[in-house]
Structure 1
């Protein structure tokens, strides 16, 4: 016999994480550092792409500058960032509610809508990662550009999406963990 509620979707409950007074700000700073590191890696690759010098060999079959970072490279990071924003705007207490969808968008169903938006946020982050891997393979790996072009720019795009995803997980943990409150009353 199941010891959990039969209406639950998952049999495993969400773990309860308790953070101390200094651990929550440390996790928030770590999430910000991961986010900044991801965008820094991509912006560095984008700037390197903009300042790439043409090849000096006139007999090469490649264009003078065969590849540049363009909107196709920006889109996965933007999707991952939008997904991170959506995921971290959702309150964990809204997800744990037990109300079902009543068929209308106006009344109840707060938990259902929160779960839907959480899914959309994770789908955007996963789509960003999949898009960055696709751009890496199709745009940078398959054409066999010279070593001074491309592959590192595509890897920076993948690292950006991975860093944003880890940043989202760390920030979600920091925001939704229980905190040991300490009151300091002075007169």
Structure 2
């Protein structure tokens, strides 16, 4: 086992309480990085450089549109819910990695490989933004609490 029992006990006790809030803070920090880079840049940032952040936000929504219970057990009579859930999760990870590749491509093509660029901060901030958004998506996915007594379709009220 790679994780100590104390860490596992802390995760089981506190993750459901503090995980969604921390995920929201990561998401807000990610967009703050990007807004700061756009406002601090001396030039106008083209719209193409905004796309990796939007795609990462779409991946966050896609990842969290799946209930974890659909991924845990396979029922042979579930009419394909297990396969559809796994395929949707795979597709959302593909979108996530596409946003990372897009932000690295923007960083390399617009800031790292161009001679005479005086401020590479928008490229670095774009990569930080995408990384933090995807970390937020995964943290929220593993820490959200399904609740059978809530009115939110099986998800806990946050």
TM-score normalised to structure 2 length: 0.78
Matched, 1:132 2:125: no
State the aligned residue count.
139
Matched, 1:116 2:116: no
Equivalents in 2 of 1:99, 1:144: separation in Å? 58
Please, which runs of 5 or more residues in structure 1 have no aligned partner? 1-15, 53-64, 179-187
Deviation at 1:176, TM superposition (A): 5.6
**Residue by residue, what CA displacement relative to the aligned partner does 1:108-133 show, whole Å, maximum 9, x if unpaired?**
10011111111111111111011000
Please, which runs of 5 or more residues in structure 2 have no aligned partner? 1-7, 148-158
Equivalents in 2 of 1:111, 1:96: separation in Å? 9
TM-score normalised to structure 1 length: 0.67
Matched, 1:159 2:152: no
Deviation at 1:145, TM superposition (A): 2.6
For the Cα contact (< 8 Å) 1:83–1:125, is it kept in 2?
yes
Q: Between Structure 1 and Structure 2, whose CA radius of gyration is higher? A: 1
Equivalents in 1 of 2:131, 2:86: separation in Å? 23
Secondary structure at the aligned position of 1:76 is classed as: helix
Equivalents in 1 of 2:54, 2:15: separation in Å? 29
Correspondence for 1:78 = 54
Correspondence for 1:31 = 23
Matched, 1:69 2:40: no
For the Cα contact (< 8 Å) 1:19–1:177, is it kept in 2?
no
Structure 1 runs, 4 residues or longer, greater than 6 Å off:
none
**Residue by residue, what CA displacement relative to the aligned partner does 1:39-78 show, whole Å, maximum 9, x if unpaired?**
10011111223xx2xxxxxxxxxxxx5xx31221111111
Matches within 5 A, 1:16-27: 19-20=12-13, 22-27=14-19
Correspondence for 2:112 = 141
Root-mean-square deviation over aligned CA pairs = 2.4
